[in-house]
Every structure is written in structure tokens, then in C-alpha cells.
Amino acid sequence: MPDFEKMIDEGRIVDLKATTKEEALRELVDVLATSANVTDRDDLLRAIFEREKVISTGVGIEVALPHVKIPSVKDFVIAIGRSHKGIDFESLDEKPVYIIVMIGANDKQAGEFLKILAQLVLKLKGKEFRKAVMFAKSPKRIRELFTGAADAGAE
């Protein structure tokens, strides 16, 4: 089971100012780059945009999971962005995205990376979970929801 406690920091949970996919990706890269695990912000930005060119990480259900595995990221780090207006992310279901979870990992962490992605998708598939994230009053509360430190239904 992935340890989201270590990967998710309250300081990397933000209400996005972005109104476009590109702005949102840049904003979250800047947030992710505040981690000591990110050694090269520009490399991270480049990799995120390259990954997004392959296929949109807008997975549907109003969620996007942009992610990269690159040598300049030392260990797993996650940034969470929330948009109350919604962002066109060229999602598979063509719906706007409200929750974006950006994941950076080292290129040698492929096996564990898939487990983390799977756990995040499992959590985000729940409509009540997504609603709790959208209505959470603080980054602390959002972190609690993702780390399982609190009952996802309560505020």
C-alpha cells in the first residue's frame, strides 16, 4: 500500500488560478518543484508536457492525473490542484476537470508507480470522495482525505 503520508504535503495542495490545461500544468509543476525531491523544475515541466502530448491525462470523471517518471525526481511527490470552474483538459470523456493530481517519480520506481496510480484512481473513482475533496475547507482536510487520516465522508 503506497504511503501517501510521505508523498502529499499540505503546501502542495492548491486552488488553481489556471483556466487552461497548459496554465494548470505549469502551476502544478511550480507547486511540485517546491519539493526537495524535484531537482530540476524545467526538466519536470518538459517531461509533463511531453507526456501530455502522447495522450491527455484527463482520465474522465472530472479528474486528471498528469504524471512522469524521470531521473531528476528523486522520490515520489504529489501535488493536488482543485478548480471550482473546471478546466478543459481534452479528457477522454470530454468533460471539464475539477481535480488534478500531479505525480512525479524517479524513473527507477516503475513498479511502485503503478500501485500509486491505481490507488489514486481507486480513491478518485468514488463520487463522494471527489465531492469531499471539492468541498473541503482546507489543504489539511484534502490531505487527510487522500492519506486516509480521516473518514472521507466527514468535513
CA distance 60 to 36: 31
What lies within 8 Å, CB to CB, of 144 at 6+ separation is 150
Residue 12 has pLDDT above 70, yes or no: yes
- At 55-72, the pLDDT tens digits run 899 999 999 999 999 999
Is domain 4-146 given the CATH code 3.40.930.10 in the classification? Answer: yes
Distance (Å, rounded) from C-alpha 105 to C-alpha 74?
A: 7
In the block, cell 491505481 appears at 118
Question: Domain ranges in the chain?
Answer: 4-146
pLDDT in tens, 89-106: 999 899 999 999 999 999
pTM confidence score: 0.93
